[in-house]
């Protein structure tokens, strides 16, 4: 049966667990600090590629120089989108940690709420001793009253035991959740350290890429643009999407035409590919992760022949680029560094992969 001692033991155990949780919270300090500078979650990353298959200075022709820089842009986008995906995964990991903390807190609140109740029951209703039963015998008017009263006492005790057992299980589950959260935090911290180095390397390679791009002539830059997103197409007017949310997303994406491409940017004044699409759908009240890979798993799949304005279109395998279809075989997308957000042919990227309908 339930006793104050049993409850105190359960609460004491949870208190000990919470102290361990507090220690974990202190360990989380560096993790949260790292998150502020772009930490990412536990994923497997490919090694950062060279910024080009051949440096422009080593290329024998202008075409080779432009091709090398275009390849560098693609490789950098792959790594940048991996970093975006890592941030999405880490956010999910953090949500799990918060849920574990909340579960443990709720278990303790339930124990606190039962504390006075169980103590009162144990003190005034049933303690398992013969004295309480003797009181029943003295105060009952008949044998039926005795049986009824003893049955009531047993029922109260049984219910109390059931409640305490339920809360004890909740406390145990909460502790297991916290242990899982500890492991997740340790993994996340290790990945933060690994990805911080990756991101630093990426920033260095972006700077190197920018120097290579700046060294190209205007015709060579145009060649890079064609290879990484096609020539500019006039922004259309009167695009009609199949739903209000898709319409808002299309209008918002088209309103960003001319804004610069920046790796890892999600607006409002600069974008990478998945940053543009997530920004556009956020304006429509639809939350999308800032990652082309994650976005390629959202909504419902649609064939190329069924595309409608607002659908997201994905490129390469595995997916590393996303744009938004706007009709007439065209899309709006943030294509590559040195090129603003633009409208281009759906075929301009090559390597078409798939499409998803987010709204409509």
Known catalytic residues are: 273, 321, 333
Sign of CA dihedral 128, 131, 132, 138: positive
Closest to 353 (Cα-Cα) out of 323, 322, 325, 316: 316
Closest to 127 (Cα-Cα) out of 163, 139, 135: 135
DSSP for 306-345, please give it. Answer: G--TT-EEEETTTT-EEEEEEETTEEEE--STTS-SEEEE
Instruction: Please list the residues that pair with 352 across neighbouring strands.
Output: 315
DSSP for 52-110, please give it. Answer: -SS-GGG-SSHHHHHHHHHHHHHHHHHHHHHHHHHHHHHHHHHHHHHHHHHHHHHHHHH
Q: What is the total residue count of the chain?
A: 360
d(CA 245, CA 312) in angstroms, rounded, equals 13
Instruction: Please list the residues that pair with 323 across neighbouring strands.
Output: 313
Q: Which two tokens stand for residue 216?
A: 């190209």
d(CA 97, CA 122) in angstroms, rounded, equals 37
Sign of CA dihedral 287, 290, 292, 294: negative
Element (H, E) at 132: helix 130-139
How far is residue 26 CA from its own chain's centroid?
23
């Amino acid at each position: 049966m339930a006793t104050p001692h049993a409850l105190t033991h359960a609460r004491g155990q949870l208190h000990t667990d919470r102290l361990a949780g507090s220690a974990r919270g202190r360990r989380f300090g560096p993790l949260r600090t790292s998150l502020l500078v772009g930490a990412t979650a536990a994923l497997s990353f490919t090694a950062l590629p060279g910024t080009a298959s051949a440096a422009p200075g080593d290329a024998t022709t202008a075409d080779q120089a432009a091709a090398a820089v275009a390849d560098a842009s693609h490789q950098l986008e792959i790594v940048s989108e991996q970093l975006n995906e890592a941030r999405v995964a880490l956010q999910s990991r953090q949500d799990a940690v918060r849920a574990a903390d909340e579960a443990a807190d709720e278990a303790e609140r339930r124990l606190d709420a039962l504390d006075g109740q169980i103590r009162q029951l144990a003190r005034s209703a049933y303690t398992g001793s013969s004295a309480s039963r003797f009181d029943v015998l003295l105060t009952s008017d008949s044998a039926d009253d005795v049986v009824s009263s003893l049955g009531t006492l047993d029922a109260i005790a049984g219910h109390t035991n059931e409640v305490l057992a339920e809360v004890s299980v909740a406390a145990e589950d909460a502790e297991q959740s916290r242990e899982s959260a500890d492991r997740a935090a340790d993994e996340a911290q290790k990945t933060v350290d690994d990805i911080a180095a990756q991101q630093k390397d990426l920033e260095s390679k972006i700077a190197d890429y920018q120097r290579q791009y700046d060294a190209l002539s205007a015709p060579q830059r145009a060649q890079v643009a064609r290879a990484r997103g096609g020539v500019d197409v006039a922004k259309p007017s009167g695009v009609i999407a199949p739903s209000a949310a898709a319409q808002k997303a299309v209008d918002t994406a088209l309103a960003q035409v001319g804004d610069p491409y920046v790796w890892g940017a999600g607006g409002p004044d600069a974008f990478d590919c998945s940053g543009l699409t997530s920004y556009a759908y956020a304006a429509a009240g639809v939350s999308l992760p800032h990652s082309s890979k994650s976005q390629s798993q959202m909504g419902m799949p649609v064939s190329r022949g069924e595309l409608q304005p607002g659908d997201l279109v994905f490129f390469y395998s595995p997916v590393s680029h996303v744009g938004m279809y706007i009709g007439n075989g065209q899309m709006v997308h943030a294509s590559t560094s040195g090129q603003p957000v633009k409208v281009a042919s759906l075929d301009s990227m090559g390597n078409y992969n798939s499409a998803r309908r987010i709204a409509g």
